[in-house]
Amino acid sequence: MIYAGVDIGGMNIKIGLVDIKGTILADNSIKTDNTKDYKGILEDIVDDIRKLCKHVGADYHDIAGIGIGVPGVVDSRTGTVSYSANLGWRDVPVVHGLEVASGIRAEAANDANCAAWGEYKFGASRSMDNVILVTLGTGVGSGIIIDGRLFDGVASAGGEAGHMIIVKDGKQCNCGLKGCWERYASATALIEQTQEAMDKHPESLMHEIVAENGKISGRTAFIAAERGDKAGKEVVEGYIDYIATGLINIGNIFHPNAIIIGGGISNEGEALIAPLEKKVNDGLLASEHNPKVRIIGASLGNKAGIIGAAALVM
Ligand SMILES: [Zn+2]
């Protein structure tokens, strides 16, 4: 039995064939053709699934289901994308469209929820029933698993931890609110904080590192801190504090077994995870009497979306 997992974004679509153990048998990335309507894009996806089947010598009719992760608000019960800014979709019946195009049963969910589901089923948090995934990328995404089930609120409109307000009247967010966590804890925010510190500290190593790498990135301050740069260390510490603020809120509301950290920034590994685990547990209510909330790096990397989407139909 094989399953297809699709992770659709505004620029690219990642598609994979996955077995029941969560192993990717073959995968591919195609361009999102924005000149086409959603039906055309879904046909591109089905064409690619057929190609992948040929590639691994599988019969297309052996595919038991197709799962798709979509950036935006996805009502997984009705299979409708209410809104996706990246794709320009509004009220798109993505599951129905995919079933018509493929002749195969389909399911859909928000992309961060798919990643959380993938990590829960096959990744870092296997065997834990209460897990929150937080992805630190361009924005801050989240997926909440309570008692082994995805929780995303009425019409799947909830579960958006990135837009919890951590600074009243704080920085303007794309969503219209001010002071959202993602304005302080995303990779985008880290780059902004790095730039501000560089402007203030012409002596900082960060200038050399940017010159070496050709551009400022989410790594700049971490590299500088590793090399002992004071301003770089301050940026990293301040940034980790912002992440911890949101994680403490999540920890006090859900007290999960673990919070999984994904997204590009999670590649910093222990330099990020160890101080976060300490700060978060220091910030939890009655922490000395309760089990620790573990902070763990995501283990499926950028394949979590494909694997999690496929796991929706298993
Ligand atoms: Zn926001």
26 CA to middle of ligand 1, Å?
36
Distance 172 CA to ligand 1 centre (A): 8
CATH code: domain of residue 50: 3.30.420.40
Distance 192 CA to ligand 1 centre (A): 16
Residue % of the chain over a pLDDT of 70: 100
Residues 152, 252 within the same domain: yes
Q: Give residue-wise pLDDT tens across range 92-117.
A: 999 999 999 999 999 999 999 999 99
Cα of 176 vs centre of ligand 1, distance in Å, is 6
User: Tell me: the pLDDT tens digits for 236-266?
Assistant: 999 999 999 999 999 999 999 999 999 889 9
104 and 141 share a domain?
A: no
Instruction: Give me ligand 1 centre to Cα 290, in Å.
Output: 31
pLDDT, residue 213, reads 92
Average pLDDT, the chain: 95
Cα(170) to centroid of ligand 1, in Å? 11
- Cα-to-centroid distance, 151 and ligand 1 (Å): 20
Residue 197 alpha carbon to ligand 1 centre in Å = 24
Shared domain check, 50 and 168: no
The CA 73 to ligand 1 mean position distance, Å, reads 14
Residues 28 and 173 both lie in one domain: no
Q: Are 96 and 171 in the same domain?
A: no
Tell me how far the alpha carbon of residue 139 lies from the centroid of ligand 1, in angstroms.
Answer: 9
Q: State in Å: Cα 171 to ligand 1 middle.
A: 9
Residues 182 and 205 in one domain: yes
Assess whether 110 and 133 both reside in one domain.
Answer: no
pLDDT in tens, 179-234: 999 999 999 999 999 999 999 999 999 999 999 999 999 999 999 999 999 999 99
pLDDT tens-digit profile of 118-145? Answer: 999 999 888 899 999 999 988 899 999 9
**Does 64 lie in the same domain as 192?**
no
Asked whether residue 301 carries a pLDDT value surpassing 90, the answer given is: no
Domain membership of residue 112 as a residue range: 2-121+303-312
Distance 3 CA to ligand 1 centre (A): 34
138 and 281: one domain?
A: yes
- In this prediction the pTM is 0.89
Q: Would you say residue 37 has pLDDT above 90?
A: yes
Q: What is the Cα–Cα distance from 143 to 115, expressed in whole angstroms?
A: 8
CA–centroid distance, residue 61 to ligand 1 (Å): 42
Same domain membership, residue 171 and residue 114: no
Structural domain tally of the chain? 2
Do 83 and 13 lie in a common domain?
Answer: yes
Same domain, 87 and 204: no
